[in-house]
Amino acid sequence: MSFGVRTDEIGVDGSAVRRTVQVNDADPLRLMARLARSGLFGDHVVYERPGRWTFAGGVLGEVILENGTVQTRWNGEEPVVSAWSGRPARALDEAFRGSPLRAWNAYGWIAFEFAGQPRGERLAHLVVPRAEVRIEAGEAHLTGVDADEIAQVAALLEAPGEPAAGLPSPVDVRVDGDRYRTRVAQAVEEIGAGLYQKVIVSRKLPIPFPVDVVSTYERGRAANTPARSFLLHLGGFQATGFSPEVLASVDATGTVMTQPLAGTRAFGRGADADAATRHELETDPKEIFEHAVSVRTSQEELYSVCEADTVQVSGFMTVKERGSVQHLGSSVSGLLAPGRTSWDALDALFPGVTASGIPKREAIEAITRLEEPRGLYSGAVLAVSHDGSLDAALVLRALYADESGAWLRAGAGIVTGSTPAREYEETCEKLSSIAPYVVPAG
């Protein structure tokens, strides 16, 4: 491992302090964990995209959306609380439009109840960080508002050695089977009665000990192959996860992409077993139907915000390997119509069809009957910027922790051909993407 600071790139642009640190062959995962556990910043978010890791530390600006109110805070000033109504995405858009910051990147999360069925107090929490570290291609690009703070971050990146992540204590996922299978049977009956076509029914798995969330992130990320990964600590709430799919990705030109995954089988049980379950996945009528209707729904959602002739599907029903499971996956993309923004795209695609159901409104209503509030599970962790770009990862395969304790959660897509036993097994397969890597707090 080798490091070197290019001091010629230290400079001030307006209020921004910039610095570049050569990290070369250093493991970005370890560097992100080092920053997270350093204590230099209380609130922080780590967000990984292919080839790019971002650490957002501290709070320069903050937007918190709750039922009926939005709280904004900029540049350390007192929070301002105002009322909002209508679409939550529009409320967030207006809050950031009111920012006094000329340029900003924000990171945070939105709850499943952001979809329009508020059952929890907090619907969204996003922060513009005081310091941001972006690692890609062997370089760490540091941006912040305080030169001393950025110097401390650079010193952390340069520090030799690395404490090993704690040892995991695997969590038993085969609990609460009867209760979950009963809810699946109820959903199958409702589908048979024509109330909806598909619904995702999930179950919560409490962890019976305090958790070291940062070490769990290290252990879990090393064993997973996510589309996105994240680690966050905002307002006392912690979470880490290995998202199997992209809910919404919008670049500064207005190109939108979503990546619905539906259809699941176990993975990582040996070459012969994996090949057999892959064949089963690609030929099972129930799994193919579940995936096809999800892709069709994603197309319809993009038609509502994109120029119609730009909406297209690519990589239809490609098998995606995600840790302990494999899925059928497709990509659906389009170009935003004039006057539409990335917030409109998020509004159209949220919640993910693969984590709610079809039709969405009826499926969400069913979820409110069948489950307790989900919070961040099946919500999203996102990065959004002043230039109109947005990247949102669907939150599945994740661990959650607050003052009450820690928990996991997983669900399965219920359609006409579903059986309670198989859907329970699917939740066990999904939970196994993170349950073996949970590290107790030291």
Whole-number Cα distances in Å, 32 to 75, 144, 183, 326? 25, 17, 39, 27
Count Cβ atoms within 10 A of the Cβ of residue 190 and give its class: 0-12 exposed, 13-18 middle, 19 or more buried. middle
Contact 176, 203 (CB under 8 A): yes
Encoding tokens for residue 214?
Answer: 């940062």
**CB 85, CB 156: distance < 8 Å:** no
Residues 317, 340: Cα–Cα separation, whole Å: 29
Q: What is the CA radius of gyration of the chain?
A: 21
Instruction: Name, in order, each residue with C-beta under 8 angstroms of 86's C-beta and a sequence gap of 6 or more.
Output: none
CA-to-CA distance for 204 and 76, rounded, in angstroms? Answer: 37
To the query of whether residue 245 is one of the catalytic residues in this protein, the response is yes
Please pick, among 48, 218, 245, 301, the residue that the annotation labels catalytic. 245
Partners of residue 266 on adjacent β-strands: 325
Question: Rounded to an integer, what distance in angstroms lies between the CA atom of residue 435 and that of residue 205?
Answer: 10
Q: How far apart are CA 354 and CA 163, in angstroms?
A: 38
d(CA 151, CA 267): 44
Alpha-carbon gap, residue 305 to 35, rounded angstroms: 38
Report the alpha-carbon distance of residue 192 to residue 111 in Å, rounded.
Answer: 29
Find the helix or strand (DSSP H, E) in which 297 lies.
helix 285-303
Return the active site residues. Answer: 245
